[in-house]
Amino acid sequence: MLKIYQDKVILKPKAVIFDTDNTLYLYEVAHRAAMKSVMKKAENTLGISSQDFQEVFDLSRKEIKLQLGNTASSHSRLLYFQRAIEKLGMGTRIFLTLDLEQTYWREFLVNTRLFPGVKEFLQQLKSIGIKTANITDLTAQIQFRKIVYFGLDEYFDYVVTSEEAGCDKPNIEPFKMALNKLKTDPEDVWMIGDSPENDIYGAKSNFKMTTLQKIHKGVKVGSNQFAPDVSFDHYSELISLISDL
C-alpha cells in the first residue's frame, strides 16, 4: 500500500532515478538459483560438496568486500569465484573462474523477473516527458546486461554505475553524476530504491530529493534519517500517484 509520510507534499517530478537490484526485480531469488547452478558445476568439476563451496564462497565474498570497500569491484562475482578457488588450494584457475562467473550470470538472468508494473510505470514517465535514470552498485558490464535482458534499455535516459562513479551509494558521487546527466535540480527528482541506508539516505541527506522506498518481503520501511517520504508495494500505486498529480 502506498504511504506518504510526515505530510510531505509530493509534486510531479521532472526526473526519476531508480535503483536496480531489489527495486526493479527481486535479487535474492535469482541469486539463490544462480548459486545453486554454480555449486552444482563446482561439485562436478572440483569434486567439492555444495555446502563446502558455499562456505568458501561466502568467506571469499566477505574478504573481497572488506578489501575493496564501497567500490564496484567489491561486487565482482569473478573476484569472489577466483578467491574461492584459490582458498580451495587450487591456485588461480582462470578458465574455471570465467566459467563459474558466466554460469552464475546466465542462471541469474534466467531466474530474474521484473516486478509487475515496472515497465508500465516507465512507459508512463516517458509518455509525460519525465526523464529517467538508473543508479546501480555494480560493474557496468553486468548491470547493462540485466537492463537489456529486461528490455529496459530504451526506457532509461541515463545509467550511472558505481564503476563509473568510482564508489557505491550512499556516497555522494553516483547521485551527483546522475543529476549532472539529467540536468535537473535535486528538488525536482524522485529517487526510488529499496535500501534505506543506500538509496533513501543517500538521496535525501545530501540532495533533498523526494525519496520513495519499494517495500516487499524482507524489506522494512526506513526510520529516522533513513525514513523515506513515500513507501509503496506495487508500481501500479506509483502509476496512480503520478496520474493524480
Partner 1 sequence: MYQTSRTLGVTWSDLIRDRLFVAGLVIKLILIFAFIPTIQTEWFVPFIVDAIENPSFSPWSSFISSDKDILAFPYGPIMLLAHLPTTFLGWVIDSATGANYFSGLGFRLSLLGADMLLLILLLQQFESRWRGLLIHYWLSPLVLLITYWHGQTDLIPIVLFMTSIILLKKNKLMLSGMILAASVAAKHSMLITMPFILIYSWFKRNNIKDVYRFVLYFLLVFLLFEGLFLFDYGFQQMVLSNREAEKVFWLAISMGDLLKVYILPLVYLLLVYLTWRLRRINFELLLATLGVAFSVLILLTPAPPGWFLWLTPILALHYSRGNGNAVLLGSLFSLAFVMYHSIYSTGAKIAFFDNLSLSMNIINLSDMPYIQSLLNTAIIGLVMVITLQVFRDGIKGSDYYHLGKKPLVIGISGADNSGKLNFVEALTGLFGKNKVLTISGENYFNWDKYSPMWQTITTSNPRASNIFLMISDLRKIISGEWIKRRGYNRDTGLFSTEKIHRGHQVIIVSGLHALHTKQLIEIHDVKFFLSNKDDNQKSVNNVDFEKYIQPQQKSADIIFEAQTKSNKNIDLTIRIRNGVYYQELFRVLIGICGLQMEVIELDEYGNVELIVQGDIQSGDIRLAANVITPNLSEFIDQESGFHGGTIGVMQLVALMEIDEVLKRRRAAA
For 95-209, list the strands marked E by DSSP. 131-136, 158-161, 189-193
Choose, by CB under 8 A, the member of 11, 148, 197, 223 that binds partner 1. 148
Q: Choose which of 96, 124, 149, 227 interacts with partner 1 (CB under 8 A).
A: 149
Q: How far apart are CA 158 and CA 137, in angstroms?
A: 15
Note whether 141 binds partner 1 by CB under 8 A.
Answer: yes
Sole binder of partner 1 in the list 45, 51, 92, 102 (CB under 8 A): 102
Task: State the burial class of residue 40 (Cβ atoms within 10 Å of its Cβ: 0-12, 13-18, 19+).
Answer: middle
In the shown chain, the binding pattern of residues 30 to 49 toward partner 1, with x for contact by CB under 8 A and - for none, equals: x--x----------------
**Least Cβ distance, residue 173 to partner 1 (angstroms):** 26
Binding track, positions 212-241, relative to partner 1; x by CB under 8 A:
----xx------------------------
Should residue 120 be labelled a site residue for partner 1 when binding is judged by CB under 8 A? Answer: no
SS3 231: strand
Tell the residue number behind the cell numbers 566477505, with chain if given: 62
Check binding of 5 to partner 1 (CB under 8 A): no
Pairing of the two strands 230-232 and 189-193: unpaired
Question: Does the footprint of partner 1 cover residue 68 (CB under 8 A)?
Answer: no
Q: 194 to each of 19, 41, 221, how far by Cα in Å? A: 8, 32, 9
Sheet-wide strand order for 210-214 = 3-4, 230-232, 210-214, 189-193, 15-18, 131-136, 158-161
Tell me if 51 contacts partner 1 by CB under 8 A: no
Q: Nearest distance from residue 219's CB to partner 1, in Å?
A: 12
Interface positions with partner 1 (CB under 8 A): 26, 29-30, 33, 99, 102-103, 106, 109-111, 113-114, 119, 141, 144-145, 147-153, 216-217
